[in-house]
Chains A and B, each alone.
Chain A
Amino acid sequence: NAGVTQTPKFRILKIGQSMTLQCTQDMNHNYMYWYRQDPGMGLKLIYYSVGAGITDKGEVPNGYNVSRSTTEDFPLRLELAAPSQTSVYFCASSYSRGPGQGGYEQYFGPGTRLTVT
């Protein structure tokens, strides 16, 4: 299994540009997540999905959008890039049996380092 894969690894965007960060997992996990990591701040949840067709906002969703049309893929869209979105983005996945049945660890991808100038 490749686990969780992310593309691209690095990207530089100009202010106002758009891009999609790709995330794919091959572990048949039902839950998927997007985080951003900023120095000294830990990881903050942007969006998550509990299954295909179901997404919900995390702690810091502004400026981002997601979709989940398949179990495997969970792309993150930046519509109008801003310098505040300069960060490292991690995708993760986990398996859960359902509400209240959480507890399975999350598996992380290698990250995408995004710079907006």
Chain B
Amino acid sequence: AQSVSQHNHHVILSEAASLELGCNYSYGGTVNLFWYVQYPGQHLQLLLKYFSGDPLVKGIKGFEAEFIKSKFSFNLRKPSVQWSDTAEYFCAVNAEYGNKLVFGAGTILRVKS
């Protein structure tokens, strides 16, 4: 069965600091990869996605992620975080019939102003 690991459950950063959230998955075949964000009290929204092509994917709000197939990783990055980036971030993998997503446990990011 597929699984997704997110390395840190809680991250605290100051504004303007750089962010990197780790995500590793276990599946040897073709995968589609996603990062979702959940702002406090809101539902999940798509940040970015990788289907094929350029492994460096750019998403909304200045986020980007790099797919490294040899490392089974899809880490999320942002050069300079803002207080409004405070949220929970989920990595997800889709590799099966039914377009089912397997989610990581999530990383709660708190940005101090």
Do A and B bind? yes
Tell me the bound Cα distance from A42 to B42 in angstroms.
Answer: 15
Tell me the bound Cα distance from A106 to B32 in angstroms.
Answer: 12
Chain A, residues 85-102, CB within 8 Å of chain B (1/0): the string is 000001010101001101
- Does A50 lie within 8 Å of B98, measured CB to CB? yes
Q: How many residues of A contact B (CB 8 A)?
A: 29
8 Å CB contact of A108 from B44, B95, B98, B99: B44
* Complex interface: chain A residues within 8 A of B13 (CB): none
A29 CB to nearest B CB, Å: 10
Check if A83 is an interface residue, CB within 8 A of chain B. Answer: no
* Complex interface: chain B residues within 8 A of A33 (CB): 100-101
Tell me the bound Cα distance from A43 to B88 in angstroms.
Answer: 12
* Complex interface: chain B residues within 8 A of A41 (CB): 105
8 Å CB interface, A23-75 against B: 31, 33, 35, 40-45, 48, 50, 56, 58
**Interface core residue of B98, B99, B105, B106 (most chain A CB under 10 Å):** B99
Check if B90 is an interface residue, CB within 8 A of chain A. Answer: yes
* Complex interface: chain A residues within 8 A of B12 (CB): none
Binding stretch for chain A, among B45-53, B64-72, B79-87? B45-53
Interface residue ranges, B against A (CB under 8 Å): 4, 9, 32, 34, 36, 42-46, 49, 51, 90, 94-106
Interface residue ranges, A against B (CB under 8 Å): 31, 33, 35, 40-45, 48, 50, 56, 58, 90, 92, 94, 96, 99-100, 102-111
Q: A31-B98, A108-B44 are in contact. List 4 more A-B contacts (CB 8 A).
A: A43-B44, A43-B101, A94-B99, A102-B96
